[in-house]
Structure 1
Amino acid sequence: HWNMESIYEYGGRAGFWRLHRLFTQSGIKPTVYGVATALMRAPEQVAAMQEAGWEIASHGLKWIDYRDHSREAEAADIDEAIRIHSLVTGDRPTGWYTGRCSVNTVDLIAREGGFDWCSDTYDDDLPYWYDAHMDGSVGEKPLLILPYTLDANDMRFAIQAGYDHGEPFYQYLKDAFDALLEEGKAGSPKMMSIGLHCRLVGRPGRIGALKRFIDYVQSHDRVWTPTRAEIAAHWREHFPWQDSIRPSRMGPEDFVARYGGVFEHSAWIAERAWAGELAPANDSAVGLHAALARQFRAASTEERLGVLNAHPDHAGKLAAAKKLTAESTAEQASAGLDMLSDAERATFMELNTAYVAKFGFPFIIAVKGLDKAQILEAFKTRINNDRDTEFATACRQVEKIALLRLKDMLP
Structure 2
Amino acid sequence: MDKNKKLDSIDKNKIKLGLETMEKSLKILGNPERNYKIIHIAGTNGKGSAAAFLEAGLIEAGYKTGKYTSPEIYRFNERITINREEISDGDVELYYEKVNKALELSDIKLTYFEITTAMMFLYMKDKNIDYLVLETGLGGRTDATNTVTPVISLITNVSFDHMEFLGNTLREIAHEKAGIIKKDIPVFFADDNPELLEEIKAKTENYINVLKKYEFNENSTKLDKEKLNTLVKINNKEFRLSLFGKFQGKNFLLAYEALKYLGIDDEVIKRACSETVWNGRFQIAAENPFIILDGAHNKDSAAVLSESLREVFPNKELVYIISILRDKDNESILEELAKASDYAVFTGINNNRGQSCDEMYNKGKKYFKHSYAENTPESALKKAVSLNKKATVICGSFLLLKEYKKP
TM range (shorter): under 0.3
Taking structure 2 as the reference length, what is the TM-score of the superposition? 0.20
Flag the structure with higher strand content.
2
Which structure has the larger Rg? 1
Q: Which of the pair has the greater relative contact order for Cα pairs under 8 Å at 6+ separation?
A: 2
Taking structure 1 as the reference length, what is the TM-score of the superposition? 0.20
